[in-house]
């Protein structure tokens, strides 16, 4: 029997691991629970319900989830613990067997969390697992984060049909699908009305937008570029083979899309890209970087690389290093390969030992710092408009330019969520940001 009072005076705590998509989804879950009077705990408060939105991109991610669930036991001893997300979808029994877990919800069930909570809290003898087989995961559910005053993550696409040999995401999030353009534009208008100035488009394979609605990503970008009140849109990550010249030309002349690209390379060796079953080679990747810099010379280009994937010999790794050296990119995001159950990569014989993985990861981290410094040096003395963010420590505050130059300055409440013109200064590695000189507003000069 469902008890309608079951949510009364309940408080919830939220934990998110993994990608921006997960943050958007947790935020939407929080909005759903708040609509039923279940408010978010303040720092130090004990929660009645804990929601954990998990990631399973590597075995380290799984470990972090297990550690977090144990920690929740201590922080919220009586809480009803719900675990959802990719780890829950991929290994439901393993998650359900972790002490303290009360309910495990799969990718399809995440959006109906209120129903499952009401059923479970009304009937303690009820079920512990609600999971659909991945083949049944085909509905697109909307999500948009509204926790930050400056930036919002807008989910535009979900799932993936690529099946790269090292990746489990298609098994956790299902087939590629996306929202309707008119619904996403309406969501962006809503976000603008809330005072947020920047929207980051998120998804699993954003470039594949349109697969379930018979249109293309460029159609969405053109529609969003007309949304008043949003100063900037960023595309969170896009596959190189889906980053068309049409999109690049559009971003270069658009009103609101930032010259900031995040492109997964994964390896700079064509042999390894073939083993990964990636849909491009190094020549295509280099041509995209070249095109971006041709159209937007000051663009920021962040690149994902995986080290130590099966088949990556020393020779192939050297190819990766020299290829990256040759690229005019701004930063690397370096990931260490980990074996994932059910992936094709496990059939590749050549295994890279832990020591080599660590050595390769360190070498690329150093290369990344070099690229970032070169990028920041190229920005020194340039005039930029910075969108300042709320600061947690109240000492320093940070903000970003459209081309992702991170600046810092002493905390000033009046700067939060506001745009300020400044001259970019020098890079300070202790805060991983550059100093700046504030410029008077244009209208002040004209007076
Ligand atoms: S494109 Fe490849 S790496 Fe990215 S989510 Fe899809 S299968 Fe995984």
- Residue by residue, DSSP assigns 231-263 as -EEEE----GGG--HHHHHHHHH-SSB-SEEEE
Tell me the C-alpha distance between 372 and 426, whole Å.
Answer: 12
Cα–Cα distances in angstroms (integers) from residue 335 to residues 91, 141, 242, 284, 361, in the given order? 22, 29, 22, 22, 7
Q: β-strands 406-410, 103-105: how paired?
A: unpaired
- Choose the residue to mutate in 18, 162, 170 for probing ligand 1, maximizing ligand atoms within 8 Å of C-beta: 162
Tell me the C-alpha distance between 166 and 310, whole Å.
Answer: 9
What is the structure's pLDDT at 136? Answer: 87
Q: β-strands 49-54, 80-85: how paired?
A: parallel
DSSP code at position 165: T
Tell me the C-alpha distance between 346 and 82, whole Å.
Answer: 31
Q: Are 324 and 286 in contact (CB under 8 A)?
A: no
Q: Atom 8, ligand 1: which residue's CA is nearest?
A: 167
Specify the residue for token string 């001893």.
77
What is the structure's pLDDT at 388? Answer: 94
Paired tokens of 28: 């939407």
Calculate what percentage of the chain has a pLDDT beyond 90.
Answer: 85
Look at residue 379 and tell me whether its pLDDT is greater than 70.
yes
174 ligand 1 Cβ < 6 A: no
162 ligand 1 Cβ < 6 A: yes
What is the structure's pLDDT at 442? Answer: 65
Look at residue 159 and tell me whether its pLDDT is greater than 90.
yes
**The model's pTM:** 0.94
In the predicted model, what is the mean pLDDT of the chain?
94
Q: Are 168 and 345 in contact (CB under 8 A)?
A: no
What is the structure's pLDDT at 440? Answer: 78
Q: Atom 1, ligand 1: which residue's CA is nearest?
A: 162
Tell me the C-alpha distance between 337 and 346, whole Å.
Answer: 12
């Amino acid at each position: 029997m469902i008890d309608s009072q079951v949510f009364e005076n309940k408080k919830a705590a939220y934990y998110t691991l993994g990608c921006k998509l997960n943050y958007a989804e947790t935020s939407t879950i929080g909005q759903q629970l708040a609509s039923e009077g279940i408010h978010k705990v303040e720092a130090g408060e004990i929660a009645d319900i804990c929601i954990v939105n998990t990631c399973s991109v590597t075995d380290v991610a799984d470990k972090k989830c297990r550690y977090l669930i144990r920690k929740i036991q201590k922080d919220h001893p009586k809480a009803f613990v719900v675990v959802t997300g990719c780890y829950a979808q991929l290994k439901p029994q393993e998650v359900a067997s972790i002490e303290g877990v009360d309910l495990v919800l799969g990718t399809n069930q995440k959006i109906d969390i209120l129903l499952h909570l009401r059923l479970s809290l009304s009937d303690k003898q009820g079920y512990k697992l609600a999971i659909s087989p991945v083949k049944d995961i085909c509905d697109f559910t909307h999500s948009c984060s509204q926790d930050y005053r400056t930036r919002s993550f807008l989910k535009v696409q979900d799932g993936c049909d690529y099946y790269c040999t090292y990746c489990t995401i298609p098994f956790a999030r299902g087939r590629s699908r996306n929202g309707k353009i008119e619904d996403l534009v309406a969501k962006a208008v809503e976000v603008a009305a809330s005072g947020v100035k920047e929207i980051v488009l998120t998804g699993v394979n954003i470039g594949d937008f349109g697969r379930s609605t018979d249109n293309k990503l460029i159609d969405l970008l053109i529609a969003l570029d007309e949304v008043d009140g949003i100063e900037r849109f960023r595309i969170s990550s896009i596959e190189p083979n889906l980053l068309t010249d049409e999109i690049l030309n559009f971003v270069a002349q658009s009103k609101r899309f930032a010259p900031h690209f995040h492109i997964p390379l994964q390896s700079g060796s064509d042999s390894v890209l073939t083993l990964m079953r990636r849909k491009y080679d190094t020549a295509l990747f280099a041509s995209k970087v070249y095109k971006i810099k041709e159209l937007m010379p000051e663009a920021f280009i962040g690149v994902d690389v995986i080290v130590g994937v099966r088949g990556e010999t020393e020779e192939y790794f050297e190819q990766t290093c020299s290829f990256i050296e040759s690229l005019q990119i701004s930063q690397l995001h370096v990931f260490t390969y980990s074996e994932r159950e059910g992936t094709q990569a496990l059939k590749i014989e050549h295994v890279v030992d832990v020591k080599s993985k660590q050595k390769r990861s360190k070498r690329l981290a150093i290369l990344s710092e070099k690229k970032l410094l070169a990028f920041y040096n190229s920005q020194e003395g340039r005039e930029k408009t910075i969108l300042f963010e709320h600061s947690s420590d109240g000492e320093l505050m940070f903000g970003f330019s459209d081309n992702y130059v991170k600046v810092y300055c002493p905390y000033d409440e009046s700067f939060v969520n506001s745009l300020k013109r400044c001259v970019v200064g020098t890079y300070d590695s202790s805060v991983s940001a550059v100093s700046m000189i504030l410029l008077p507003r244009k209208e002040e000069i004209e007076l």
